[in-house]
């Protein structure tokens, strides 16, 4: 069986070691992926200094190249974001902007270098917005070259105008657990297929 790895980019606004619901759901996704022989790691993006821009390397002080190397080394990317005012976090948007550089970075077959990798999304928030965030992230990640598995997202929203955080729940809701399990199963399956036979080149 092909060995696979996953990287979860946790796009909370809270620096480590502050508790984070985005971190919690990302780790739950990685736990489910582990059941399909996928080794996983988390990276809290806000702990790094990411310069604004759309370059792979913005020069001295820019720590995006470190994150980029981890993304390139992984077979599966998990983007985990909180919901703020109905949108993904500003940290998540910064990640997408920096990934834009990969559109012009191609492999020996002329494919964008991220072609053949799988991307999934996890969203938490005590307000609505998860469906739109997933849609926006899926479109952007697919444009860059990632493949999106069937039912490749999991999310939790509090009741309308609520104030509960995901990490404060006594247990994971069954619907969220089921979605996370399906995400992991389908992502591992697709990633293994692509690792064995990538898309055709030019």
Strand ranges for 66-125 from DSSP E: 76-84, 87-88, 118-125
Q: Is the pLDDT of residue 76 over 80?
A: yes
Local structure of residue 147 (DSSP, 8 states): B
Backbone dihedral angles phi then psi of residue 111, each to the nearest 5 degrees: -90, 145
Backbone dihedral angles phi then psi of residue 70, each to the nearest 5 degrees: -65, -40
pLDDT band at 202 (very low <50, low <70, confident <90, very high): confident
> According to the model, what pLDDT value does residue 127 have?
86
Beta bridge partners of 54: none
- Over the Cα atoms of the chain, what is R_g? 16
Q: Is the pLDDT of residue 160 over 90?
A: no
| Percent of the chain surpassing pLDDT 90 | 92
Helix (H, G, I), strand (E, B) or coil at 128: coil
Rounded Cα gap, residues 187 and 79, in angstroms: 13
Rounded Cα gap, residues 101 and 189, in angstroms: 28
Rounded Cα gap, residues 190 and 70, in angstroms: 20
Structure tokens at 74: 């992984």
Give me the sign of the Cα torsion angle 180, 183, 184, 186.
positive
Digit-coded pLDDT (tens) for 121-151: 999 998 889 999 999 999 999 999 999 999 9
> According to the model, what pLDDT value does residue 163 have?
87
CB atoms within 10 A of CB 200: 9
Phi/psi class of residue 59: alpha, beta or left (left: φ > 0; alpha: ψ in -120 to 50)? left
Digit-coded pLDDT (tens) for 27-69: 999 999 999 999 999 999 999 999 999 999 999 999 999 999 9
Cβ within 8 Å of residue 110, ≥6 positions away = 201, 202
Rounded Cα gap, residues 55 and 76, in angstroms: 22
Rounded Cα gap, residues 101 and 53, in angstroms: 9
Q: Is the pLDDT of residue 1 over 80?
A: no
Cβ within 8 Å of residue 76, ≥6 positions away = 4, 5, 6, 7, 33, 38, 117, 118, 119, 120, 187, 188, 191
């Amino acid at each position: 069986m092909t060995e696979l790895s996953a990287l979860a980019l946790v796009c909370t606004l809270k620096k480590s070691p502050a508790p984070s619901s985005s971190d919690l759901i990302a780790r739950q996704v990685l736990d489910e992926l582990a059941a399909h022989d996928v080794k996983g790691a988390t990276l809290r993006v806000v702990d790094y200094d990411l310069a604004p821009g759309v370059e792979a390397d913005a020069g001295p002080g820019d720590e995006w190249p470190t994150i980029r190397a981890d993304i390139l080394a992984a077979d599966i990317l998990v983007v985990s974001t909180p919901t703020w005012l109905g949108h993904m976090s500003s940290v998540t948007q910064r990640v997408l902007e920096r990934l834009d550089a990969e559109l012009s970075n191609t492999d020996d077959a002329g494919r964008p270098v991220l072609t053949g990798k799988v991307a999934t999304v996890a969203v938490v928030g005590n307000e609505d917005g998860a469906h739109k965030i997933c849609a926006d992230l899926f479109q952007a990640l697919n444009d860059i070259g990632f493949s999106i598995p069937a039912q490749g997202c999991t999310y939790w929203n509090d009741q309308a105008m609520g104030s509960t955080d995901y990490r404060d729940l006594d247990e994971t809701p069954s619907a969220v657990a089921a979605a996370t399990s399906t995400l992991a199963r389908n992502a591992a399956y697709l990633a293994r297929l692509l690792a064995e036979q990538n898309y055709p080149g030019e």
